[in-house]
Amino acid sequence: MGAALLAATVGVAGCTAPDLADLPLPGGAPSGPAYRVTAEFTDVLDLVPQASVKVNDVTVGSVEKISLRGWTALVRLRIDRAVKLPGNATAAVRQTSLLGEKYVALAAPVTEAPAGQLDDDAVIPLARTKRSAEVEEVLAALGLLLNGGGLAQLKTINQELSAALEGREPAARDALRQLDAFVTGLDRQKADLVRAVDALDRLTGRLARQRAVIGDALSALDPGLTVLAEQREQLSDALTALGELGRVGARVVTESREDLVASLKALQPTLEQLVRAGDALPKSLDFMLSYPFPPNVTGAIVGDYINLSLTADLDAAAILANLFSAKPVAKPPSRSGTRPGGSTSGGRPGSTGGGQRPGGGTGNDRPGGVGPLLPGVLPPVCLPVGGLLPIDWLPPLLPECELPPDCELLRPGSVLPPGGLLPPGGVVPPGTIFPPGTKLPLGAILSPGCLLPPPDGATNGRTGGLLDVLGGGLLR
């Protein structure tokens, strides 16, 4: 009876005992929807399935499976669906305490910005996984240090450092202060240093991409460098000869300095005349190339005919003003003075007195009683023919060559008086007592007395013929 009861009891117990594989093990994650992620490790230590998966020390899942692929451990993690992690999350095998269990810690990256989202079947590569140091490793390193692995060396280093710094404490402190200032300066320029390193990185990258071009350039330089190497002696001789030529040239220039200066001074008048000639010289050369025809005659030649044109200025007002409307020149007062040769004249260059001149008369009357000259019409016989009118020029003692008393030539560089005239280019323009085109020294100034008075249209009621008008008899 007892044996039967025991057998029945064992049978019932065998039928109703739960399977151990279906029982929940310690750790794990809350039940519910989850997604699975695979993390790659080089070493998982003694991590086991059903170990916890934590985020910020909060359990969010469990280790579902650990497998091996070559030398890499593959850890399959089951994570609660409500936990959101970036796609570039990191994984690490850590320990709860000194002798506690291992677990997998997931976290956002600290060296880069989070990107994307960790989804089902995602893989965390080896580059983003690590493990913590084992207690055995820490104790082994400590044992190595305590058993003479480095204490003796540290003692020697300490003694030698103390001996080196003894008596040099101020210098050491100053060095430390300078090092601190240097490091501080580097820290302030961190952005510039980063930009410089980035720019250097871009430069090296570009050089790397153009490696073939640089190689071709160096290969193309090789023949030229070979020729230069072969002609090294000739180049050295040429440079030596060039140095000797420089010394000879310097000696020649030094010895011929005075002759060169004299030649340049002798060339100065010629250059001045070329400057005064202005554009007349190139125009004459242009005409010389087409002699005997002017350069613009080509447009006038048609077959065996030449077209001619004539331009006449028939401005009646200008003609009448030139003939009738100019004011007469005032009769200068008599002045005494002696000219070269014993004649009398005014007391300043450029003016003549009203005294007796050779041949009789006062100089205001022309021979034959025709009357004085028209103002501004000085006969060519009074001016130097074919040359400049010098500053100290005096008109000949002729009745036709009398100047107004206030007319004089001022030297170049003189102050321009009010009402005076600085002839452009030294050539007298119309409107003065001198014929237009008279040449003066460059920079010479005409005083106001040498300018013609403006026409006023006044008449004096005299009558006469054309010869009287041209001779100036009607203007007395």
pLDDT computed for residue 345 by the predictor: 36
Domain residue limits, the chain: 23-136, 326-476
Range among 25-34, 140-149, 211-220 with highest mean pLDDT value:
211-220
Instruction: Identify the bridge partners of residue 331 per DSSP, sorted by sequence position.
Output: none
301 vs 418: which has the higher pLDDT: 418
Percentage of residues in the chain with pLDDT exceeding 90? Answer: 26
Phi, psi of 92 (to 5 degrees): -145, 145
Length of the chain: 476
Q: What is residue 31's three-state secondary structure? A: coil
| Percent of the chain predicted with pLDDT > 70 | 68
Predicted confidence (pLDDT) per residue in 32-42, tens digit: 889 999 999 99
Burial label for 332, CB within 10 Å (0-12, 13-18, 19+), is buried
pTM for this predicted structure: 0.30
Task: Tell me: pLDDT of 365 over 50.
Answer: no
Contacting residues for 130 by C-beta, under 8 A, at least 6 apart: 90, 92, 93
Distances (CA, A) of 114 to 84, 86, 170: 12, 6, 50
Cα separation values, 447 from 82, 371, 378, 411, 425, Å: 110, 26, 17, 11, 17
Single-letter code of the amino acid located at 102: K
CA gap 91, 35 in Å, rounded: 16
Average pLDDT in the chain: 75
Least confident of 19-33, 234-248, 309-323: 19-33
Q: What is the mean pLDDT of residues 254-266?
A: 89
Confidence of residue 8 (pLDDT cuts 50, 70, 90): very low
Statement: residue 377 has pLDDT above 60: no
Vertex 427, ends 421 and 428: CA angle to 5°? 50
Model pLDDT, residue 150: 61
